[in-house]
């Protein structure tokens, strides 16, 4: 069976779509995983590693008020990171990771708190208005294990979104072909 990254690259290439990545706690590991796949350049636009909280606002357009009120480890921050990198790098899809890998808690969140987000066209085709999905994770293990699992999780969430979006498009086409029933 192929890796989640290989499957992401394969699906995006077949669909003629592109991906951009925004990372915090994973520090570039998602981009590295994707670029390990031969042919990734056909689908991968690039990434922003916004490890410092201020860079999330400056580079990705995350709301400064949200960051001040809730900190960087927040589901809305993850969603805005994914939408921001999608827009900044001109991609069809954006994914993001933010969380606490340890060894200490951050922003009042315990070690292992992670949010992964996907932003994409969701049924409307390339270039459409964005829509986002966020998944909250509570991970155990070492710092390295938490970071690795965050990479696997964000790619899995993207694969689910791609599958859901494909299924939605197929249903819409079937409805059109069958007279709207």
pLDDT tens for residues 106-121? 989 999 999 999 999 8
Could you give the CA distance from residue 153 to residue 148 in angstroms, rounded to a whole number? 9
Q: What's this model's pTM, rounded to 2 decimal places?
A: 0.89
Is 135 in contact with 148 (CB distance < 8 Å)? no
User: Helices 4-15 and 143-177: crossing angle, nearest 10°?
Assistant: 30
Domain interval for residue 59:
4-177
Total domains in the chain come to: 1
Output 29 or 123, whichever has higher pLDDT.
29
In this prediction, residue 50 carries a pLDDT of: 97
When the pLDDT of each residue in the chain is averaged and rounded to a whole number, the result is 90
Total Cβ atoms within 10 A of residue 13: 17
What band does 132 get if pLDDT is binned at 50, 70 and 90? confident
CA distances from 107 to 51, 64, 68 (A): 14, 15, 10
37 has pLDDT over 50: yes
Query: What is the chain's percent helix, strand, coil content, to nearest 5?
Result: 50, 20, 35
CATH number of domain containing 172: 3.90.950.20
- Determine the pLDDT at residue 1: 59
pLDDT value of residue 8: 98
């Amino acid at each position: 069976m192929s890796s989640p990254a290989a499957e992401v690259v394969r699906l995006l290439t077949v669909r003629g779509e592109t991906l951009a990545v925004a990372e915090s706690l994973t520090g570039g590991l998602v981009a590295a995983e994707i670029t390990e796949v031969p042919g990734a350049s056909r689908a991968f636009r690039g990434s922003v590693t916004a490890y410092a909280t201020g860079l999330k606002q400056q580079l990705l357009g995350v709301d400064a008020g949200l960051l001040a009120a809730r900190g960087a480890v927040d589901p809305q921050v993850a969603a805005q990171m994914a939408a921001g990198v999608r827009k900044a790098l001109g991609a069809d899809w954006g994914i993001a990771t933010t969380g606490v890998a340890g060894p200490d808690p951050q922003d009042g969140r315990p070690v292992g708190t992670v949010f992964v987000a996907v932003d994409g066209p969701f049924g409307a085709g390339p270039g459409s208005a964005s829509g986002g999905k966020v998944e909250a994770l509570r991970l155990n293990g070492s710092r390295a294990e938490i970071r690795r699992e965050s990479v696997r999780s964000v790619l899995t969430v993207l694969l689910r979104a791609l599958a859901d979006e494909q299924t939605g498009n197929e249903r819409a086409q079937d409805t059109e072909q069958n007279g709207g029933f």
